[in-house]
Structure 1
Amino acid sequence: MLTTSRGISFLLAMAIAALTVAFLSLLDDATPTLLVVAGVLSFSLSYILTNVTLEFLIFKEISNIYQLLEKVQKKDLSDISEHSYRTSISPLRKINQTINSYAIAKNKEIETLQKNAVFRKEFIADISHELKTPIFAAQGYVHTLLDGAVEDEEVRYKFLKRAAKSLNNLDKLVQDLLTLNRMENGVVKFHFENFDIKDMILEVIEQLEHKADRRDVLVRFYFDKNDTFDTHADKDKIYRVCQNLISNAIKYNNDGGEVVIRLEKKKNKLHVSVRDNGKGIPEEDLKRIFERFYRVEKSRSREGGGTGLGLAIVKHILEGHKSRIKVESTIGKGSTFSFSLPVA
């Protein structure tokens, strides 16, 4: 009985009523009726006030604290939500609020660790798969030569050339991984300078001309010939951004398709967009295409010789320029990638 608010309130109310009656009985004009009424009133008021105080300021808060502690102990933090408390005179309410904040922080920490664990598993699986392909290809050609094919000069040259290509792909993959890792850790330094981004895009188009011709893809570049397009950025890294976007637009386009590049000056920004009319990207994949090794078409993941890290590197380069890559895509109609840089 003493462990409940009602039991404690009853005992305190009885004591207060007894003291009140004892005090009034010392008065000369105190009548038995007055003493009874005073005793009943003091007991009732004391019981109600004490019970309300204990129930809402102490026992209820202690119960909430126990519930939170049980959830923390069981690591069941999924249904704990962040909410604000009303100002209260109860110190237990503040303790409850502190424990709740701690539980929320722990819940977020657990969610982060779980996401990181999933990411590590996916990354290890992806990197193993990506490394296995060029290694196994080079091994196959070399072992074939060692088994006797080395005597045939034509076969020897062809297999050595293919093995070298596989090793070059492996080297490119490792270099992209190192570049991405340095960017994420903030090790890569950006060397900003003024340059004409129009001329740079023309260089990229010229470099990828043979790739476009092989697939019969027409590359169009639109810009205002009467305007200048000088920007202040890291030229080499922006070159890589444009190279990756235009190369992807050619690679994932339809044979005989078209790539449209637009360069526009809008106020104090230079806006670059690269559009293709290929298959497009499903909506569920749009949020993940900038992740490491994420590929929309698994079956065609390597036919273009990419490492699966290009868009991840593009994203980090543009973030280093206080910009971001945007993408819009419609299935069956193609995709558009765009970014902006400041006018020099």
Structure 2
Amino acid sequence: MKLSVLVFINALAVAITLSIVNYYFKHSWYDMAVTFSISFITSFIVFYYLIEKYVYSKIKLIYKQIHSLKLGRDLRDALSESVSIDPIGDVEQEVKNWASEKKIEIEQLRSQEKFRREFLSNISHEFKTPLFAIQGYIEAILDDDLEDKDMAMQFLQKAARNVDRMSYLIKDLDEISKLESGEIPINYTKFRVNDLIKEVFETMEFKAKQHNIKLVFKQKYDEPYLVNADRQKITQVLVNLIDNSFKYGNQGGSTSVSFFDLHDQILVEVTDDGMGISEKNLPRLFERFYRTDSSRSREIGGSGLGLAIVKHIVEAHQQTINVRSTEGLGSTFGFTLEKVKQGPFPLPILNS
């Protein structure tokens, strides 16, 4: 409501009240009219002065402060001379918007704080386990005074494996940190995703036999599906996803890779027929160190960062990754890649 309208209503109410009281005692229409005029004018001036000085000016100041905090510097300077025709209404709306934004920020901060606590707890546990193991093996060797050389050698080998585990943790943490900060650039090249899948299968064939899992590619290798991405990093994505399927797959099962030609993208899917993942765990699956089955995860090894790295690499390509799973039936991880549209002339293809 405008200031003049607000003052007019208040002054009119006072003038009507005083004129009615005057008429009640004097019974004179003339005196009533004079009282109404004088009281209306006086009330209008007094109310306008009081509201403008002590109420409206303060509200406008609050509005300007809230408004300037929400605007960028350039835009704030451009609007510094403009005056709102309804500061009270604007303040009300601004405060509502501000309260809503702050509520969202507080919820995000609480969520981040919870994630930070869990992350610190997880990373402490991940480093503590191999560190204590190394300490125990070394102390056992020192107590034995190297009398049993065979036992000493076994303990040293076990200590070395735990050192390797710590090295993998540090390497993966460093890689995630660099991906988040943008220190690792995305080197885009055009290549056949078919050829890349074939190469990854050849690389992981021995490991698949160790887990008694069959690798299946559902498309023909000779069909040209060109994508524009960082070949080395997408190789890592496929290796991590396939390796994850080995860890949680069934003996004698299979891991299949397939892709689908979308309008501007190629969707690549890695599917296993393993134990599956419960629905409640799916939203947090790509968090660092998050494990759906802690006892089994630590037993089969790994840093607990493989899926987090996959997510960061895919998102660094401005693409998306998702997962769907059914307990007891298996899981499917799918991620998109930018599709290269071929023109009348063939594009150069990177195969190495």
Report the TM-score range of the alignment, normalised by the length of the smaller protein.
Answer: 0.7 to 0.9
Post-superposition Cα deviations, 1:61-112, rounded to whole Å, max 9, x if no partner, equal 99xx9xxxxxxxxxxxxxxxxxxxxxx9753332333333333333333223
For 1:151, the equivalent position in structure 2 comes to 147
How big is the alpha-carbon RMSD for the aligned residues of Structure 1 and Structure 2? 3.5
Change (3 A) 1:41 1:126: same
1:242-261 aligned at under 5 Å gives the runs: 242-261=238-257
Q: Secondary structure at the match of 2:284?
A: coil
Post-superposition Cα deviations, 1:106-156, rounded to whole Å, max 9, x if no partner, equal 333322322222121111101001111111111111111111163323222
For 1:84, the equivalent position in structure 2 comes to none
Q: Secondary structure at the match of 2:216?
A: strand
Distance 1:190 1:137 in 2: 38
For 1:323, the equivalent position in structure 2 comes to 319
For 1:73, the equivalent position in structure 2 comes to none
Change (3 A) 1:114 1:268: closer
TM-score normalized by the length of structure 1? 0.75
> Residues 290 and 311 of structure 1 are in contact (CA less than 8 Å); yes or no, is this contact kept in structure 2?
yes
Change (3 A) 1:149 1:324: farther
Distance 1:204 1:149 in 2: 46
For 1:140, the equivalent position in structure 2 comes to 136
Q: Secondary structure at the match of 1:316?
A: helix
> Residues 275 and 330 of structure 2 are in contact (CA less than 8 Å); yes or no, is this contact kept in structure 1?
yes
> Residues 218 and 256 of structure 2 are in contact (CA less than 8 Å); yes or no, is this contact kept in structure 1?
yes
Which segments of structure 1 move beyond 6 Å, counting only runs of 4 or more?
Answer: 8-11, 18-21, 36-42
Q: Secondary structure at the match of 1:287?
A: helix
Q: CA deviation at 1:272?
A: 1.4
TM-score normalized by the length of structure 2? 0.73
What amino acid is the match of 2:98?
Y
Q: CA deviation at 1:314?
A: 0.6
Distance 2:150 2:268 in 1: 47
1:1-344 aligned at under 5 Å gives the runs: 12-13=14-15, 17=19, 34=29, 91-148=87-144, 150-344=146-340
Change (3 A) 1:206 1:102: same
> Residues 180 and 313 of structure 1 are in contact (CA less than 8 Å); yes or no, is this contact kept in structure 2?
yes
> Residues 18 and 35 of structure 2 are in contact (CA less than 8 Å); yes or no, is this contact kept in structure 1?
no
Q: CA deviation at 1:251?
A: 1.1
Count of aligned residue pairs for this structure pair: 296
Distance 2:34 2:274 in 1: 90
Distance 1:256 1:212 in 2: 10
Q: Secondary structure at the match of 2:261?
A: strand
Q: CA deviation at 1:293?
A: 0.7
Q: CA deviation at 1:329?
A: 0.7
Q: Percent identity?
A: 38
> Residues 192 and 232 of structure 1 are in contact (CA less than 8 Å); yes or no, is this contact kept in structure 2?
yes
Could you list the runs of 5+ residues in structure 1 that have no partner in the other structure?
A: 22-30, 66-87
Could you list the runs of 5+ residues in structure 2 that have no partner in the other structure?
A: 1-6, 60-83, 341-352
Q: CA deviation at 1:218?
A: 1.4
Q: CA deviation at 1:335?
A: 0.5
Q: CA deviation at 1:18?
A: 7.2
